[in-house]
A and B are shown apart, each in its own frame.
Chain A
Amino acid sequence: MDILIQQLINGLVLGSVYALVALGYTMVYGILELINFAHGEVTMMGAMVAVAVMGMLMGAAPDLPGVWVALLGLLAAVSACMALGYVIERAAYRPLRQAPRLAPLITAIGISILLQNIAMMIWGKQYIPFPRILPEARHNILGASITDVQIAILGLTLVIMAGLVWLVNRTSLGRAMRAVAQSKSVAQLMGVDVNKVISATFLIGSGLGAVAGVMVSANYGQAHYYMGFLLGLKAFSAAVLGGIGNIAGAMLGGLLLGVIESLGAGYIGDLTGGFLGSQYQDVFAFAVLILVLVFRPSGLLGEKGVERA
């Protein structure tokens, strides 16, 4: 039983990160019908900027408490990634908004490779350590253990998700986003500044990505220029699993993918008597994705035409 609880905790922590990154994919898709493949790299940039800023802070102000250093690093990462997301949209996607849909897709892949190489040039090819400044206490819950960082990840994800739901459903910006998602031209006729709404979407999505990037590197203790690629791929799958374009779907899809992966890797060896080992954990997760898509092509919560945002 304690193993099952531990695996669920593992899965929820992993899934929280997937969900935050998946939100970035799904929001952009909901509004532009563009799969922003550069989003994984924006997440990586968040982690890298945070680690770099924290390193500088620790050098400049050694007396600052670790939690403050981490928060300032997070803040720097979020601002940097928001700026990055804004610039990417402005420079790479906006000029192609009327182009065939393949053009921005290829551009997105190009931006992703560009960002990877920039990160490699700035920070090198080596893995860089996340400074050990956060409390590392372990707590026991029904025989399973969870660290402070993991509790922070779960808590922060919940707060951010609640905030996002409130933003989309209760504010005028949210209403504008939903309107643009349904029809750009009609929204424009109703006086919505479409460009501003799209920029806002990129700002929010990239900010969430930065938070996820910092969480990942804090949890695993390291950052690397290539870390965004696999994370982005998994998060994109999570968004599709939940129904791409649907915000609640991205959250559900992310958490579900994390839990499935965790349970799959943890139990597949024992259940098949060692015939299939944990090397199949990704296969297991993607098999579930394929199954869901066979029976519900638009994803778990995706319903075509209704409330994309």
Chain B
Amino acid sequence: MKWSALAVALVAALSFVACGRKPDAASDGAQIVKIGQSSPLTGPQAHLGKDNDNGARLAIDEINAAHPVLAGKPVVFELVSEDDGADPKTATTVAQRLVDEGVVGVIGHLNSGATIPASKVYADAGIPQISPSATAVKYTTQGFKTAFRVMTNDAQQGKVLGAYAAKLGKKIAIIDDRTAYGQGLADEVEKAAKAAGEDVVAREYTTDRASDFMAILTSIKSKSPDVVFFGGMDPQAAPLVKQMRQLGMKAQFLGADGSETPKFIELAGPDAEGSIASMPGLPLESMPGGQAFKQKFEAKYGEIQNYAPYAYDAARVMVDAMKRANSAEPAKFLAELPKTDFQGVTGHIRFDSRGDLAGGSITLYQVKNGKWTVLETVKSAE
């Protein structure tokens, strides 16, 4: 008797909760529009994934607060967040789950490795996708009409780096770690450096597990380059620059976003001083709406990790396209996305024919007194 009473109470409670959730939005006749977000919410990159999630969430909350109307009907946007664990295999499963849940568009994913396989799922379902942070060239060259990004890609970054290297000296040596990221970037830098009339005196390779670079550096030293570019991550970049100094090399170290981290300075210590590395986008302080965004974001979620402003803009760009199409139907607002001309906090957002950010910025930083400080910001060619 007691048990059945409890069961009845439980069912009643559950049905109350079940009823209590949905009509919340529908009570005033508003239509619910689901937008997906996917990034690693667990694992070693969870802090970055949560950052993207918060960025998109802030945008959606702000948009909802303004009581948006599409085709004469009030709408409420809902962010559906899924954890891809930065893993390519999980990313496709998660992408399918988002599609099944009926999202009209997706903000994500965070990593290129996860974004690329997931993009096929969204393309097959005809759902627009805007990645805040995937930089691998391949993402937008697969021929998917649904793939967009609001950050400059590795080719654009490589071009800026190659041109900048030419300013630093005549002879450049290029090393990469044979990963998709490092190799792709190094290839772009090599092309751009050659185009700028630079002499590529050495092209050497290592792995993303190595810590000894003495042999290849000795070989490079004999060709006396002015600049040494490394395409790879900070655990290799730091001992590499340390060993350059051990060998008495005076060449300028040049890296990309994989090296532009506090960890690089921590690991390389005083040898990091003077190193130059690039990072896609503008420094937060120079973003058109950077300060205001920072205040809003930090009041709600705490410190910005990295890509939150880009996720914030990606969500707003997507809703902006819906407003212009006056519809939340994927097929209809997808047609509007390529025409995007949006002033975001990260800069002026327009897309080229492939869905890449047109005319995005790359910022160069240099280690001064043990801190990454801004050297200059370069607008990438359109």
Contact = CB atoms under 8 A, between A and B. Distances in A.
Interface stretch (B66-74, B202-210, B328-336): B202-210
B293 to A, nearest CB: 29
Interface string A1-44: 00100110011011000000000000000000000000000000
B270 A132 contact: yes
Given A145-B246, A220-B212, A270 B269 contact: no
B178 A222 contact: no
Contacts of B209: 226, 230
A221 B213 CA distance: 13
* Residue in B221, B247, B270 with the greatest tally of chain A CB atoms within 10 Å: B247
Interface in A219-235: 220-222, 224, 226-227, 230
Nearest to B205: A279
A66 interface: no
Interface string A260-288: 01111111011000100111010000000
SS of B interface (majority) = helix
A147 interface: yes
Interface in B207-243: 207, 209, 211-212, 214-216, 218-219, 221-222, 234-235, 238-239, 242-243
Nearest to B248: A145
Given A145-B246, A145-B247, A127 B235 contact: yes
B380 to A, nearest CB: 29
A129 interface: yes
Contacts of B205: 277-279
B101 interface: no
B44 interface: yes
Interface in B315-348: none
B123 interface: no
A304 interface: no
Contacts of B216: 265-266, 278, 281
A162 to B, nearest CB: 25
Contacts of B368: none
B206 A278 contact: yes
A101 interface: no
A97 interface: no
B215 A7 contact: yes
Contacts of B189: none
B91 interface: no
Contact of B238 (A6, A147, A221, A227): A221
A220 B212 CA distance: 7
Contacts of B163: none
A216 B212 CA distance: 9
A196 interface: no
Given A127-B267, A220-B239, A269-B219, 4 more contacts: A3-B218, A6-B247, A262-B215, A279-B178
Counting from the closest, the 9 A-B pairs by CB-CB distance are: A265-B215, A279-B205, A10-B214, A220-B211, A262-B215, A266-B219, A266-B215, A220-B239, A278-B204
25 contacts: A3-B218, A10-B215, A13-B214, A14-B214, A126-B263, A127-B235, A127-B238, A129-B269, A132-B269, A145-B247, A150-B246, A222-B239, A226-B209, A262-B214, A262-B218, A264-B215, A266-B215, A266-B218, A274-B203, A277-B205, A278-B206, A278-B216, A278-B219, A279-B178, A279-B206
